């Protein structure tokens, strides 16, 4: 039978993200049959010559089970303690599982700064590429024992680069030039309505760039319990991958063959077809680096950026927020507060405020831009 999604059959580098609700039962006990089914599929992919990277949640749940906690931990320090205990148990399971299928697992624990700082990001990219060259399978997670961005995420904050492993997996896929991101969850894919509360909900086979924003707006938030992401964060992660030239599939991890079916081009889960990819620098500006400030623009500046591809001049900035330095990422906002894009600031925040107020800083020329068009990514 011919594949329904032939574009996925030629994928040579695949990132798979597995969530807590796939790897663990509600009481935190590991779901070993599901975990080893995923290991077998990834081991077979690696043996076929495909580069495989695994982003895995589950450390907090396994730690909870090991420490004998009867309910999901709520306090940050308790979740960090569970993560510290559970991460070693999680890697033990993966090391044993991959060893049985002739593969080598490599633990990679990340914090926000590994993506936020461009030098560290480039070092990370080199390390992951080296592991792949040697045939190892990187098993990636946020370093929850020391990093609190995922465990204590604050909605609306501008700082976090990734607040959950869904977004982390999208960043790994885009930064490593992956062809496919597979996000495994506890439902069959993305539905037009919540299937847990509506028997008439319809599974969406394909989400195009033209419809992805409406789909993201209609999905629910995080599920209760040990998991953090929820379907909305998975759709947002798929959107990042899609816009970066990487296909994405959201599918059930409760089935034992979703990864294999996805890479074979079968109609499994929900497919987000890739678009043309921006270059690596623009991907870093758009998604990988945390914004240190915000520039609010007047209507003329917004029109110049969107319609003429111009650089952002200080005269078009009405307000400067944050405490950023030259080379930091800033977000750009229209007069109504909506997002225009992101860019690299030419100067620090105090200089930008003076410049926007009409006071030309020393060393700045009239034609200099506050954010040059080569350092801009518009939405």
**Of the residues 236, 251, 282, the one at which a domain ends:** 282
d(CA 135, CA 227): 30
Q: For the chain, what percent of residues have pLDDT higher than 90? A: 54
Q: Which of 10-14, 29-33, 67-71, 115-119 has the lowest mean pLDDT?
A: 115-119
Shared domain for 47 and 17, answered yes or no, is yes
What's the total number of domains in the chain?
2
What's the Cα-to-Cα distance from 285 to each of 291, 321, 365, rounded to whole Å?
A: 9, 18, 25
Banded pLDDT at 72 (limits 50, 70, 90): confident
d(CA 249, CA 269): 6
Q: For the chain, what percent of residues have pLDDT higher than 70? A: 88
Query: What per-residue confidence (pLDDT) applies to 157?
Result: 36
Shared domain for 309 and 211, answered yes or no, is no
The strand ranges marked E within the chain are 13-18, 51-56, 105-110, 137-142, 180-185, 247-252, 270-272, 291-297, 317-322, 329-333, 339-344, 376-378
**Of the residues 262, 282, 302, the one at which a domain ends:** 282
Query: Is the pLDDT at 292 greater than 80, yes or no?
Result: yes
Query: Is the pLDDT at 229 greater than 80, yes or no?
Result: no
Shared domain for 278 and 338, answered yes or no, is no
The answer to whether residue 276 is domain-embedded is yes
Shared domain for 18 and 148, answered yes or no, is yes
**Of the residues 228, 254, 282, the one at which a domain ends:** 282
Query: What per-residue confidence (pLDDT) applies to 30?
Result: 85
**Better-predicted residue by pLDDT, 252 or 150:** 252
The answer to whether residue 275 is domain-embedded is yes
Banded pLDDT at 221 (limits 50, 70, 90): very low
CATH of the domain at 344: 2.30.130.10
């Amino acid at each position: 039978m011919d594949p329904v999604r032939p574009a996925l059959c030629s994928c040579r580098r695949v990132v798979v993200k597995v969530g807590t609700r796939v790897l663990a039962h509600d009481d935190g006990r590991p779901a070993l049959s599901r975990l080893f089914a995923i290991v077998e599929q990834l081991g077979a992919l690696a043996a076929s010559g495909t580069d495989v990277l695994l982003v895995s949640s589950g450390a907090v749940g396994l730690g909870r089970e090991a420490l004998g906690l009867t309910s999901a931990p709520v306090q940050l320090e308790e979740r960090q303690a569970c993560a510290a205990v559970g991460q070693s148990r999680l890697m033990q399971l993966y090391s044993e599982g991959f060893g049985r299928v002739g593969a080598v697992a490599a633990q990679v624990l990340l914090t926000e700064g590994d993506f936020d700082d461009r030098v560290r990001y480039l070092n990370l990219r080199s390390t992951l590429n080296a592991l792949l060259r040697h045939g190892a399978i990187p098993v990636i997670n946020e370093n929850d024992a020391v990093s609190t961005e995922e465990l204590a995420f604050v909605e609306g904050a501008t700082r976090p680069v990734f607040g959950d492993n869904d977004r982390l997996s999208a960043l790994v896929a885009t930064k490593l030039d992956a062809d496919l991101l597979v996000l495994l969850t506890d439902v069959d894919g993305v539905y037009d309505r919540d299937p847990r509360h509506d028997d008439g909900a319809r599974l969406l086979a394909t989400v195009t760039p033209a419809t992805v924003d409406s789909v993201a707006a209609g999905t629910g938030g995080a599920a209760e319990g040990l998991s953090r992401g929820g379907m909305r964060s998975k759709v947002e992660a798929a959107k990042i991958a899609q816009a970066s030239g990487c296909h994405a599939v959201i599918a059930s991890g409760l089935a034992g063959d979703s990864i294999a079916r996805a890479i074979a081009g079968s109609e499994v889960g929900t497919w987000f077809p890739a678009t043309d990819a921006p270059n690596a620098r623009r991907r870093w500006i758009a998604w990988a680096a945390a914004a240190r400030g915000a520039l609010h623009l007047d209507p003329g500046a917004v029109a110049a950026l969107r319609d003429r591809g111009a650089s952002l001049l200080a005269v078009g900035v009405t307000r400067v927020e944050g405490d950023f330095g030259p080379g930091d990422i800033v977000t750009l906002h229209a007069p109504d507060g909506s997002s225009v894009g992101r860019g690299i600031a030419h100067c620090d925040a105090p200089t930008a405020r003076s410049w926007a107020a009409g006071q030309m800083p020393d060393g700045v020329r009239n034609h200099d831009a506050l954010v040059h068009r080569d350092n801009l990514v518009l939405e």
